[in-house]
Structure 1
Amino acid sequence: MTTRLVRTLTAAALVLGAAACSSSAGGDPLAAGGSGAPRSGGSTVVVGSANFPENVLLASVYSQALKAKGVKVEEKFNIGSREVLYGQLQSGALTVLPEYNGALLGYLDAKSTASGTEQVNAALKEKLPSALGILDSAAAEDKDSLTVSKETADRLGLKSVADLAGKSGELAVGGPPEFKSRREQQFKDVYGLTFKEWKPTGDTTANALKDGGIQVGNVFTTDPRIVQFGLVPLADPKNLFSVQNVTPLVNRAGVDATASAALNAVSAKLDTAGLTALMKRVSVDKEDPSAVAKDWLKTNGLG
């Protein structure tokens, strides 16, 4: 092989290597507002959800918004809790998940003092591993709350979580199966609360409050049964529950510019009042989440 040929091949290899590096750097869909190179071969985006109705609804909104833009989608809904989902997203088994930014930050850093959407998202970007990222947060916020029936509020003089101090030992509290492991120590540390009993009531927490099976419940603030049953969410003066903006959590390798833009368009349109109205149709009227999602996307010009 001649010296000139060796030099030519070496130069060509350097050019190709530089092009590959440039393509890789520009292909991050989460950098500079979600721009990125298309996924090679149009690979499938796997949209997952947690095992409660609102997350299934949001996942269906995400899935159908992606499909409307020609993205290949596989749905894996109703999987389980964050403890299960996070590892699947990190491994690439899932590509997109509807998350709640404050709750996710609490999972990654229980000692974080970040408050407000911008601060929480900035902290999240520092804590997430390189494989994962977040897209735009929606204005829609579904916060955790400690909620009681009106009868319990009146009987015990409850207006805030702080009012439960000295009374919690007489009360049963309910919530998702993982609620105790996530929050028991926080309630002790922040408000000095030790409940008599913890019951895994899941999506029936509001009903259990209404029926008297529990006296305090972890009811999400977009749950329409709060109004339907006349329940009383207690104020949280020490901000134990952080902001909870609906935010897409994604595996970076699986989303491109088209997918990122579709998901960000959902976030730009979704607000708390709208999400609460959608949840009434799902939780109270018992409509199919997929049909409710389809209606919302069509109404907002995204489907």
Structure 2
Amino acid sequence: MHVRKTFTLLAAAALTLTATSACGSSDSVEAASAGNELSGAKFVIGSKDFTENIMLGQIAVQLLKAHGAEVEDKTNLGGTVPNRKALESKSIDMYWDYSGTGWIEHLKNATPIPDAAKQFKATADEDLAKNKIRWVGPTPLNNTYALAIRSEKAKELGVKTISDVVKLAKTNPDQASLCVESEFSTRDDGLPGLSKAYGLNLPKDKISQLDTGVVYTETDKGQTCNFGEVYTTDGRISALGLTVLQDDKHFFPIYNAAVTVRDETYQKYPALEKVLKPVIAKLDDTTMRKLNAQVDVDGEEPSKVSADWLRTSGFLGKSDA
């Protein structure tokens, strides 16, 4: 059951918690200069509270600073709802969100669009028209939800798809235990919608709500749950040897990341697009899995991982120090 890797991940989780438990974790990274397009601009940048979104937030913090902006770091602000409310109330100026989240959660559409480009355009167009929120992107990365199980258990139970889990819940319910995050347990694009789409009926005592990192380690252990809700760009999937089940009914939406910013801020600082777009274009699934693994598996700080990637990718100039 990958005992050594599980121990490594638990140790890394402790390091990550220390590194990201408060806003403003980028102070330890040296300032760099890559241009002055945003000289005189002031931004407050938020992020959600899981590793990938914190790192995307840190990428924005480091990048905009390098282009002359004054930035207040409010990454690791909380879940989707607190960030969206903070954006709308002008407590923050921008944060990274995902096209599927925008379409289902913010815009309250019931049916996702299977084509990635069409899904993003529909989300961006509707959010701008209705809420004056602009989406700058999208990234190639698609961080959609999935269900995973440790590989040896998948072979034992003969499960390859989510439909197989539905069958298992009927024939051997004791084996159909599931670990999820609290947010996933209530979202329309999470467990309620998944259960409806697949006809998945799990007893309440077979569903455990845990913190993100604990979902992975408990799925790997196979004691609290056999199945876990995961993010497809998470580096812990391969590190723990988990198998991602096929979403054979194509329930989960496409979640391409983008910077969401109020249109008034975008119009005031049009150089945001020029600065952000080249970086956005480089953030694909493979890149994001590697960056996520550096934090969640290796225990590095999100601010350092983000700045190192920007620098080695040629997006930061030389250090001012």
TM-score (norm 2): 0.78
Q: State the AA in 1 paired with 2:195.
A: K
Which digits, 9 at most, give the CA deviation of each residue in 1:214-234, with x for residues without a partner? 111111112222112111100
Q: Which runs of 5+ in 2 are unaligned?
A: 1-36, 317-321
1:193 aligns with 2:204: no
How far 1:112 moved relative to its partner? Answer: 2.7
Which digits, 9 at most, give the CA deviation of each residue in 1:59-79, with x for residues without a partner? 001111111111121111111
* Rounded Cα–Cα distance in structure 1 between residues aligned with 2:46 and 2:246: 32
Q: Which residue of 2 aligns with 1:181?
A: 186
Matched length: 265
Which 4+ residue blocks in structure 1 deviate beyond 3 angstroms?
Answer: none
Q: State the AA in 1 paired with 2:217.
A: N
Report if the CA contact (8 A) 1:144-1:219 is conserved: yes
* Rounded Cα–Cα distance in structure 2 between residues aligned with 1:209 and 1:113: 28
Which digits, 9 at most, give the CA deviation of each residue in 1:183-228, with x for residues without a partner? 2321222111022332222222111111122111111112222112
Moved more, 167-176 or 73-82: 167-176
* Rounded Cα–Cα distance in structure 2 between residues aligned with 1:288 and 1:294: 10
Which digits, 9 at most, give the CA deviation of each residue in 1:36-72, with x for residues without a partner? xx99x93421110111111111100111111111112
Report if the CA contact (8 A) 1:176-1:203 is conserved: no
* Rounded Cα–Cα distance in structure 2 between residues aligned with 1:272 and 1:226: 13
Q: State the AA in 1 paired with 2:311.
A: K
Q: Which runs of 5+ in 1 are unaligned?
A: 1-37
Q: Which residue of 2 aligns with 1:101?
A: 99
How far 1:247 moved relative to its partner? Answer: 1.1
TM-score (norm 1): 0.82
Report if the CA contact (8 A) 1:69-1:258 is conserved: no
1:141 aligns with 2:142: yes
* Rounded Cα–Cα distance in structure 2 between residues aligned with 1:113 and 1:241: 8
* Rounded Cα–Cα distance in structure 2 between residues aligned with 1:286 and 1:192: 39
Q: Which residue of 2 aligns with 1:279?
A: 292
* Rounded Cα–Cα distance in structure 2 between residues aligned with 1:276 and 1:188: 28
Moved more, 196-205 or 275-284: 196-205
**In 2 relative to 1, CA 159–81 (structure 1 residues): closer, same or farther, beyond 3 Å?**
same
Q: Which residue of 2 aligns with 1:248?
A: 259
Q: Which residue of 2 aligns with 1:31?
A: none
Report if the CA contact (8 A) 1:88-1:94 is conserved: yes
* Rounded Cα–Cα distance in structure 1 between residues aligned with 2:118 and 2:304: 35
Q: Which residue of 1 aligns with 2:132?
A: 131
Q: Which residue of 2 aligns with 1:267?
A: 280
Identity %: 27
* Aligned equivalent of 2:239, options 196, 219, 228: 228
Q: State the AA in 2 paired with 1:204.
A: V
How far 1:145 moved relative to its partner? Answer: 0.6
